[in-house]
Copies of this chain bind each other. A is one copy, B any other.
């Protein structure tokens, strides 16, 4: 019956609907066939389910017949309380950090084995960097990622190892022992550093952000050119920002 072998278990309608949404992870404006292809669904099924999405408003169809994510989803998402509160609390600290260094400043949270960028400020003359608001990068290969990983619930580290951390550049730390040691150091110092792990010529310094319950809910980072690696104000700056945002979230050390 099943012409195309599926990964895992795509049986339920829900999974299929979500597979369709996932098709928009890469690619903003898709045709029916592209979506059916990425979601690994027969055309007729994809068509029907897309119809449901469109009727609801989560996906809209533009004049050219292509599908794109609709405002309904945007509305639902921007009102999301946790990230909203976090962004509002963080804003002034990120601005300070940005103004005092002129480098890229990031705020990220963990989603599974990835760091999702909630906020970003970048100087025109800073090193090129691929992160953009809403993007998701592997935990082991970024400063914020390591800060998040170091304080993540038990099991996350094991999952990262099990997933086989990818080496992007010679500087990417992928060895279990080395990673574990870094995590320990980060927990001890409250600072995570990564040098040319994902972007050539760039290093990153990150600090955790805690909420009122003491849990690490986010991380702040600065990305700068490796030339400036030794300058002490970066670590100092992100640490202060991390503490400030934590305090704004109600954290009392």
Q: Report which A residues bind B (CB closer than 8 A).
A: 12-15, 17-18, 21, 24-25, 28-29, 49, 52-53, 56-58, 62-63, 68-83, 109, 111-112, 116, 133-136, 213
Contacts and interface: CB of A to CB of B under 8 A. Distances in A.
Contact of A80 (B28, B56, B116): B28
A134 B52 contact: no
Contact of A134 (B56, B74, B134): B74
A13 to B, nearest CB: 4
Contacts of A80: 28, 68-71, 73-74
The 5 closest A-B pairs by CB, nearest first: A14-B52, A77-B77, A13-B13, A74-B77, A28-B81
Contacts of A75: 111, 116, 134-136
Nearest to A133: B78
A73 B88 CA distance: 19
A38 to B, nearest CB: 14
Nearest to A72: B111
A215 to B, nearest CB: 8
A49 B18 CA distance: 12
Contacts of A57: 111-112
Contact of A52 (B12, B82, B111, B213): B12
Contacts of A135: 75, 79
A78 B77 contact: yes
B74 A83 contact: yes
Contact of A69 (B68, B76, B116): B76
Given A14-B53, A15-B52, A75-B134, 4 more contacts: A69-B76, A73-B76, A77-B77, A79-B135
Contacts of A68: 80-82
Contact of A76 (B13, B24, B79, B81): B24
Contacts of A21: 56, 58, 76
A152 to B, nearest CB: 14
17 contacts: A12-B52, A13-B13, A15-B52, A15-B56, A24-B79, A28-B80, A68-B81, A69-B77, A69-B79, A69-B80, A74-B80, A74-B116, A74-B134, A75-B116, A77-B78, A78-B133, A79-B135
